[in-house]
Structure 1
C-alpha cells in the first residue's frame, strides 16, 4: 500500500511523537501537582498559558508553512517543544516568583510548539501521499491521535513511577526531538513565492479562500458548535454524573474508553470506505455526538451512555477523515496550511468558551435542560449544514 511508504511512515512517526508529547505533558504536570511541588493555581495558570501559546502559534504557523514549506515549521515546532521542557522543569525547582514565571513561560513555549505543528503536519500529508491514498493516510493519522491519547498518559505514568518525574520530562523532550527530525522532506512546491505580504494580509487571504468554499465554512461552523456544546458536556458534567451514579470515576472512565474504541473503529472503517455523498455522510457522523448528552439522562443504566459514547467515537472519525481529505484536495497547496490553521483555530480555540459556560448554565437552568439543549444543538447543526450548497460532497465539482 503506497500510504505505508517510508516517507509516510516517517511522517506518521513524527506526528505520533508530537501527539505522545502533547498528551503526556499535562499528565506529568498533574502528577507534580499531586506531589505538592506545584500548586493547583500554578497548574491552572500553566494550562492557560499553554492555551495562549497554542492559539498564537496556529495562525502564524499556517502563514509561515505556506511561505517556507511545512517541513521547516515541523522542525521548528519540534525544537520549540523540546526547549520548553527544561524551562518548565526550572520553573518547578522551587516556590519563588522567578520559578513561577519560568513555569508560565515554559507552558506558553510548549503551547507554541503544539500549535505550530498542527497545520504544518496537515499540509505535509498531500506532499507525501498521492491523491488516491489521501483518505487512507488521514485515517492512519487519526489512528495515531487516538492511540497516543491513551498510550501517552499510561506510558508517562509508568516512567514517572519507575524512574521519577525527571525521566518523564526527558522522555517528552526526546519525543519532541523525534517530531522535529524524523519527518521527511515533501515535494518541492511553489508555496515559497517571492511576493510576500504582511502577516495580517496573508491571514486574510486564508479567510477569503475559506469563504470561496461554502462547504468548508458550514463544516467548520458545525464542528465548532459541536465541540463547544457536546464536548463541553463531556468535559464538565460527566465527572459529576459519574460520581452520582457510580460513586466514583467508573462511568467517566468507561465512557472515555468507549469513545476511544469507537474512534479507532471509525478511523479503521474510514481507511477503506468512500461513500458517494462524502460530505453528508461526514456531517451525519458528526451529528452522532448528539446522542451523548441524551444518554446521560439515563446514566443510571451505564450501558446507555457507554454505547452512546462508542457511537460518538465512530461518528467523529467518519467526519474527521473525509473532512481533512477534502481540505487537502480542494484548497490550493499554497494556501493549505493557512486554511488548516483556521480549522484548528476555530474548532479548538472556541472550545474553552463552552467549557467556561457549561457550569453556570447548568446552575441556572438545571443540568437536564443543558443536556437536552446540547443534544438538540449537536443533532441540528449538522442537519442545517447539509442545506448549504456543496456540502453534499465537500466539493463544488460534484
Structure 2
C-alpha cells in the first residue's frame, strides 16, 4: 500500500551542501509496516509467556495433565471453528478494526484470567471459558493480521520485509517463552497473564494508528456465505495453493505429535530429561530467526520450488528421535531445520503477496490457517494410541516418512516448480504475476493470475 512505499531523502540537500538527517529506515519499511511489526513483537512477548503461565495456573489449582490439555483444547476448538468466518469478516470490514477488536477481546479475557488467578483459585470451567475467548479472538485476528501485513509491503524488497517481520515475530516468541518461564517461577502465573493482557492493550493501541487512507474501499457484494464460497474458489483454483495447504495440514499435525508427545518421552528415556529437550527446541527457534536473517539477503527466483525443497529437512527431527540421536546432535539438527523451514515461510508469504488479490488476502489466509491447525488436536490425541499399537519408534519413522512423501508430492505440481519471483517495473507498481520457466516463455495454462480468483502455512 502507499504507506509501505515511503522513501527517505538523500544524505545531503542538493546544491547547498547542508546535511539532511540520514535515512532512519529502509525504503520498504513504511509506517504501517513498522507499526505492525512493533505490535507483533509486543504481543508475541506477552503471548508466549502466557502459554506457559496458563498451564502452570491450571496445575497450581491441583489440576492434572488432562486438565491442562482440556484448557488448551478449549482455546483450539473456537480457533478452528471461527477462522473462516474471521477471514471473511476481515475482507468485508477494515482489517485494522478487526485486529483492534480482537486484541481488545484478548486483553479482557487475559486480564480476567489474571484477576481470577491472583485473587483466588479459579475453577477449571472458568479457565476453559477464558481460553475459548482467547481462541475466538485469535480466529478473527490471524486472517486480518496476515492480510494487513501482506498489504503493507510492496516493491522488489517485499521478501526482505517479510523476512524482517518474521525475524521479529520469532525472536519475540523465543524471548517471551524464556522470560515467561522465568517470571512464572519468580512471581507466579497470575502476573504473567496480567503482563500478557497489558501487551494486548499496547499492541491494539499501536494497530489503531494504522493508516488505511490508501486502502481501496471494499466493493458491495453478497453476504458472508458468498464471501466464504468466493474464498474457497480462490483456494481451489490455484493448484500450488491448495497443494501446500493440504501438505501442511498433515505436516503440522505429525510434527506437533512428535514434539508434544513423543519428544518428551524420548528425552526422558534417552536424552537426559527435559533440559536437553528444551535446548533442542530452543535451537529450532534460534534457527528460525537465523533463517529469517538469511532471507534478508537471498532472493531466490523460483520462490515455491526453493521453499518446498526446504520443507524436506522437517522430516529429520522425527527420524533423529526414532534412532535416537544424542542430545548434541539433535540440537544441531533442530537448528538447521529451523533455518530451512523459515526459508519456506518467507517464500510462502512472497507467493501469497505476489499472486493473491489484495481484497482477498484475509479469506485466503483463513483457509491457510485452518489447514495448518485443524488436524493438530486430532494428531496429538491419537499419538498415544498409535504408539501403543505400532510402537514409538515405528510411529516416529512414520511421521518422518509422511513429511517426506507429502513434500515430494507437492513438487509434482507443475505450478509449484514454475512459480517465479517477479520484479516490479517500479517499486510502486507490481507487474503481472509470473509463472514461467524462462522470462520469455508463454505462461502455462495454469498461470496464477490474481484475476483468476484463488492454500500453505
TM over 0.5: yes
Contact 2:90 2:140 in 1 (8 A): no
The answer for the alignment partner of 1:174 in structure 2 is 198
Pair 1:240 & 2:265 matched: yes
Contact 1:14 1:180 in 2 (8 A): yes
The answer for the alignment partner of 2:160 in structure 1 is 136
Pair 1:362 & 2:387 matched: yes
After superposing the two structures, state which structure 1 stretch, 149-158 or 277-286, moved more. Answer: 149-158
SS at match of 1:186: coil
Contact 2:53 2:190 in 1 (8 A): no
Contact 1:135 1:321 in 2 (8 A): yes
Deviation at 1:300, TM superposition (A): 4.8
Pair 1:115 & 2:139 matched: yes
Question: Which consecutive residues of structure 2, in runs of 5 or more, have no partner in the other structure?
Answer: 1-25, 421-433, 437-457
Contact 2:48 2:180 in 1 (8 A): no
Contact 1:191 1:334 in 2 (8 A): no
Pair 1:298 & 2:323 matched: yes
Distance 2:330 2:290 in 1: 18
The answer for the alignment partner of 2:435 in structure 1 is 397
Distance 2:159 2:201 in 1: 28
How many pairs are equivalent?
395
Q: Please, what is the CA RMSD of the aligned residues? A: 2.2
Structure of larger gyration radius: 2
Distance 2:165 2:130 in 1: 28
Q: Which runs of 4+ in 1 moved over 6 A?
A: none
Aligned pairs (5 A) from 1:188-199: 188-190=214-216, 192-197=218-223, 199=224
Greater share of helix residues, 1 or 2? 1
Q: Give the alignment partner of residue 103 of structure 1, picking from 120, 127, 146.
A: 127
The answer for the alignment partner of 1:125 in structure 2 is 149
Contact 1:385 1:391 in 2 (8 A): yes
Q: Quickly say closer, same or farther: Cα 1:336–1:354, change in 2 above 3 A.
A: same
Aligned pairs (5 A) from 1:7-86: 7-36=32-61, 40-86=65-111
Contact 1:18 1:78 in 2 (8 A): no
Deviation at 1:237, TM superposition (A): 0.5
Deviations 1:69-123 (A, max 9, x none): 2111111111111011233245545568xx5443222111111222222111111
Contact 1:224 1:347 in 2 (8 A): yes
Scaled by the length of structure 1, the TM-score of the pair is 0.92
After superposing the two structures, state which structure 1 stretch, 387-396 or 142-151, moved more. Answer: 387-396
Contact 1:124 1:186 in 2 (8 A): no
Distance 2:406 2:94 in 1: 35
Contact 1:220 1:347 in 2 (8 A): yes
